[in-house]
Amino acid sequence: DTEVTQTPKHLVMGMTNKKSLKCEQHMGHRAMYWYKQKAKKPPELMFVYSYEKLSINESVPSRFSPECPNSSLLNLHLHALQPEDSALYLCASSQSSGPTGEQFFGPGTRLTVL
């Protein structure tokens, strides 16, 4: 299995809602990543988990809360989001953490905040 899966594909939420995005890989990769991608812009790194521990947090607002329950699963918990948080959220994984790890991306979750 060489896929990174993400659920849901689409999510619409209000500013007072709490929701979660899920990412899963079964390639035995030890690093997992969350990215935010706005239209016509490149992906922006949000968080990196290495061996289930948070290793990079790119000064992301606390309304985004990542969680890595095990080496195959990565969640992004969302609470009190703003309309400007609407974007495509991409998850990726790599066998090795750090700069030399080739990343495998999921298809993304398209988030709309009303």
Partner 1 sequence: ILNVEQSPQSLHVQEGDSTNFTCSFPSSNFYALHWYRWETAKSPEALFVMTLNGDEKKKGRISATLNTKEGYSYLYIKGSQPEDSATYLCAFWNYGQNFVFGPGTRLSVLP
CB 99, min distance to partner 1, A: 3
E strand spans, the chain:
4-7, 10-13, 18-25, 31-37, 44-50, 53-57, 64-70, 73-79, 87-94, 104-105, 109-113
d(CA 64, CA 80): 9
Binding site for partner 1 (CB under 8 A): 4, 41-45, 48, 55-56, 90, 92, 98-108
CB 30, min distance to partner 1, A: 16
CB 29, min distance to partner 1, A: 12
Q: Which is nearer to partner 1, 5 or 14 (CB)?
A: 5
